[in-house]
Amino acid sequence: MNYRILWLEDDPDEDFIELAEKRGFELINYKTAKDVILQIETNIEHYDGIILDIRGHEESSDEVENEYGFLKVLRKLLKQRVALPYVVYSAIPTLKEEGGIEEFKKRHDIDKICQKGRKEDREELFRYLKERIMLSDNMAIRSKYSDIFDFCETSALGRSSWDVIETCLLVVEKGTAIGGLKPYNDLRQVFEKLGQQFYEKGLLPEEFVHPQFQMTNTLFFLKGEHQNFKFESDFVKLPSLFTEHLLGHFERITNDGSHADLKSQGKQNNKALIEGVETLLDGKENLILHSLIYSLLTLLRCSARLLELNPDKEKNLTTWSKNTVTLNIRKNKANFLVADLKGRELRFNIEDYDFPKYPQEEDQIELTYEQKGRYPEITDIHSLNGEPVTKKHLA
């Protein structure tokens, strides 16, 4: 796990970057104070620490080097109350001009200054940053759940999912304020992104993910019991503890809780049943969020392992298919063909398809169907008596 460091340096040293990588740091370099300040304002949650050069450029590389940009960055860090550890890494001449290291530290209230060009200072810089980062609550959570963090970073879940998980864990384990988090709605979105990852690995149909995620259909599919699909014996299922119990609980609670999230933002919503629980608790801690976050963490760990064991998308796609059957045409009436499926009539319009010949009674058709409530509906016709059939593109 690499630590992401925001680095203000107008002349980045490749040897320093390489050494940082070896020590477990990813340096994100910006050459002007203006760009660093923009990162602090808009993207600071994606960094674990900061390295600052004293002399450099304020807004453009065309400027004469000075320390004004550095001082602006310091003021921004103080004003925004950024809790990340930061180190000043600058050249000896610069510090001598400023009256020496100790004088500079005292004047600008800086804990750590390291001098460029000194091997021992470079090592001290990385040691200090790592030590301070590990002391922060965020990094303590990330270290404890490093496997979840890595899974988010390397999958469709992404860093935004980890940010939600991390915030929930800080609330649950460290007692931090919930802030702008919408816990139920945000956790539900994490599960939706997990569904996207299953889709990308060939373990979930696209129609359940795009254009809108379908939670209930996904749950039935991942247990290998969706009525519109046929599952082979090697279909990769989630453990039944999830599909039979926990995910249903997760779906119902997050769905209801999302109504409470909306109401907490001042939006009119009368569907938040969870408010009844809050009333009975009478100010005592609501542990529902605890159960949701830990259930989700266990699900993510199981999913990560399952996807690791089944990485071949093409192979995964062969383990399930839409319901396809071959039936005899029973009758032909006014351009509508009728076939029977499990005692139910399937009807389709001849004009919707290009047939190799005009269909007759007792001809065999191969088709795909979906169950719509109690009644099946044809979604596509593949062949007539073994010869291909294509669907017309109607205007």
Q: Which residues pair with 264 in a beta bridge?
A: none
Rounded Cα–Cα distance for residues 312 and 150 (Å): 20
**197, amino acid identity:** Q
Tell me what pLDDT residue 33 has: 93
Residues 159 and 276 in one domain: yes
How big is the chain, counted in residues? Answer: 395
Residue at which a domain ends, from 273, 295, 320 = 320
Domain holding 57, by residue range, is 3-135
Rounded Cα–Cα distance for residues 200 and 209 (Å): 10
Residues 358 and 314 in one domain: no
Structure token pair of residue 248: 């249903």
- How many Cβ atoms from other residues are within 10 Å of residue 46's Cβ? 13
Using the Cα atoms of residue 191, residue 196, residue 201 and residue 203 in order, give the sign of their dihedral: positive
Rounded Cα–Cα distance for residues 203 and 243 (Å): 15
Residues 300 and 372 in one domain: no
Residues 165 and 311 in one domain: yes
Rounded Cα–Cα distance for residues 235 and 227 (Å): 15
Tell me what pLDDT residue 270 has: 47
Tell me what pLDDT residue 133 has: 84
- How many Cβ atoms from other residues are within 10 Å of residue 335's Cβ? 10
Angle among Cα 100, 101, 104 to the nearest 5 degrees reads 85
Could you identify the residue written with the tokens 């963090």?
149
Residue at which a domain ends, from 94, 114, 135 = 135
218 within 8 A of 212, measured Cβ to Cβ: no
Q: For each of the chain's 395 residues, which pLDDT tens digit applies?
A: 678 999 999 999 999 999 999 999 999 999 999 999 999 999 888 898 999 998 888 888 888 888 888 889 988 988 888 878 889 998 755 554 555 556 666 666 677 888 888 889 999 999 999 888 877 778 888 888 999 999 999 999 999 999 999 989 988 887 776 666 788 889 999 999 999 999 999 999 998 999 899 988 898 899 888 888 889 999 988 888 887 788 888 888 888 777 665 555 555 454 556 667 777 877 777 788 888 999 999 999 999 999 999 999 999 999 998 888 788 887 666 667 677 776 777 777 888 888 898 888 888 888 887 777 677 778 888 888 989 988 887 55
- How many Cβ atoms from other residues are within 10 Å of residue 201's Cβ? 20
Tell me what pLDDT residue 92 has: 58
Structure token pair of residue 206: 């696209």
Tell me what pLDDT residue 102 has: 61
Rounded Cα–Cα distance for residues 359 and 314 (Å): 35
25 within 8 A of 126, measured Cβ to Cβ: yes
**209, amino acid identity:** V
**What is the 8-class DSSP label of residue 83?**
-
CATH assignment at residue 90: 3.40.50.2300
Residue at which a domain ends, from 320, 351, 368 = 320
Residues 340 and 294 in one domain: no
Residues 295 and 164 in one domain: yes
Residues 148 and 90 in one domain: no
Residues 185 and 40 in one domain: no
CATH assignment at residue 335: 2.40.50.140
Tell me what pLDDT residue 298 has: 93
Number of domains in the chain: 3
pTM: predicted TM-score of the whole model, two decimal places: 0.64
Rounded Cα–Cα distance for residues 321 and 353 (Å): 22
Residues 365 and 248 in one domain: no
Residues 249 and 331 in one domain: no
Residues 189 and 300 in one domain: yes
Residues 51 and 192 in one domain: no
Q: Which residues contact 81 (CB under 8 A, 6 or more apart)?
A: none
